[in-house]
Structure 1
Amino acid sequence: MTTAEEYGTALEPVEVVDAELVDDDAPGAGGVAVHDPVAAVLAALDTKAAEDLHESRPHKTRTGYARDWELWQEFHDWLAEQTGTRLPDSAITVGTYVAFVKWLDEVKVAAPNSIERRVTGVASEARRHGYDVPKTARAAATQALKPLKNDKERQKRGRGKAAAITPADLRKMNTSPRERAPRPDARRRRVIVVPELARLRDRSLHTMRFAVAGRNEEMSELDDTGIRLVAEGLEVHVPSVKGRPPRDVVVSYGENVDTCAVRCWIAWQEAKLAAGAAPDGPAYLPVDQWGNLGAKRLSPDGCGQAVSRSAKYAGMTGRRITGHSGRRGLVTTGRRKGKRSEKLRAQGGWSKNSPVFWEYVDEGEKWEDNATEGIGL
Structure 2
Amino acid sequence: MTSLVPLQPTSAPAAYDPATLAVLAAMEQAAEEHLDAIRPHNTKRGYANDWRLWEEFHGWLAERTGHPLALTDVTKGTLVGFVIWLDTVKIAAPNSIDRRITGVTVTARAQGVDVPRAVTEAARKALKPLKLDPDRIARGRGKAPAATPEQLRQMYAAAPAGLAGLRDRALWLMAFGIAGRSAEVSALRTDGIVLVSEGLAVHVPSVKQRPPRDVVVAYGKNPDTCPVRAWLTWKAAAGLTSGPAFRPVSVHGHLGTEGLSPSGCQEIISRSAERAGVAVRLTGHSMRAGFITTSRKAGKREEKIRAQSGHAANSPVFWGYIQEADRWVDAASEDIGL
* Same fold, TM-score > 0.5, yes or no: yes
Residues 338 and 283 (structure 1), Cα distance of their counterparts in 2 relative to 1, 3 Å cut: same
Determine if contact 2:218/2:228 at 8 Å carries over to the other structure. Answer: yes
Alignment correspondent of 2:308: 347
Determine if contact 1:161/1:320 at 8 Å carries over to the other structure. Answer: no
1:301 aligns with 2:267: no
Give the superposition deviation at 1:59: 4.7
Alignment correspondent of 1:371: 332
Residues 177 and 271 (structure 1), Cα distance of their counterparts in 2 relative to 1, 3 Å cut: closer
Q: Deviations over 1:51-102 (max 9, x none)?
A: xxxx999659x99xxxxxxxxxxxxxxxxxxxxxxxxxxxxxxxxxxxxxxx
Structure with greater helix percent = 2
What is the TM-score with the length of structure 1 in the denominator?
A: 0.53
1:199 aligns with 2:202: no
Alignment correspondent of 1:158: 138
Give the superposition deviation at 1:321: 0.8
2:303 is matched by which residue type in structure 1?
Answer: E
Alignment correspondent of 1:91: none
- Which whole-Å CA distance do the structure 1 matches of 2:271 and 2:332 have between them? 38
2:168 is matched by which residue type in structure 1?
Answer: D
1:174 aligns with 2:156: yes
What is the TM-score with the length of structure 2 in the denominator?
A: 0.59
Q: Which runs of 5+ in 2 are unaligned?
A: 1-38, 48-94, 96-133
Alignment correspondent of 1:124: none
1:158 is matched by which residue type in structure 2?
Answer: A
Q: How many residues align?
A: 213
Residues 342 and 267 (structure 1), Cα distance of their counterparts in 2 relative to 1, 3 Å cut: same
- Which whole-Å CA distance do the structure 2 matches of 1:291 and 1:253 have between them? 28
Alignment correspondent of 1:43: none
Give the superposition deviation at 1:329: 0.5
Alignment correspondent of 1:310: 272
- Which whole-Å CA distance do the structure 1 matches of 2:196 and 2:159 have between them? 32
Alignment correspondent of 2:223: 257
1:335 aligns with 2:296: yes
- Which whole-Å CA distance do the structure 2 matches of 1:287 and 1:257 have between them? 24
RMSD, aligned CA: 2.5
Q: Which runs of 5+ in 1 are unaligned?
A: 1-54, 64-113, 115-153, 179-194
- Which whole-Å CA distance do the structure 2 matches of 1:364 and 1:163 have between them? 12
2:281 is matched by which residue type in structure 1?
Answer: R
Same amino acid, percent of matched pairs: 53
Q: Deviations over 1:139-196 (max 9, x none)?
A: xxxxxxxxxxxxxxx9996233211001111110011163xxxxxxxxxxxxxxxx51
- Which whole-Å CA distance do the structure 2 matches of 1:324 and 1:242 have between them? 16
- Which whole-Å CA distance do the structure 2 matches of 1:352 and 1:294 have between them? 39
- Which whole-Å CA distance do the structure 1 matches of 2:135 and 2:305 have between them? 28
Determine if contact 2:147/2:289 at 8 Å carries over to the other structure. Answer: yes
1:227 aligns with 2:193: yes
Determine if contact 2:201/2:214 at 8 Å carries over to the other structure. Answer: yes
Residues 253 and 370 (structure 1), Cα distance of their counterparts in 2 relative to 1, 3 Å cut: same
2:195 is matched by which residue type in structure 1?
Answer: L
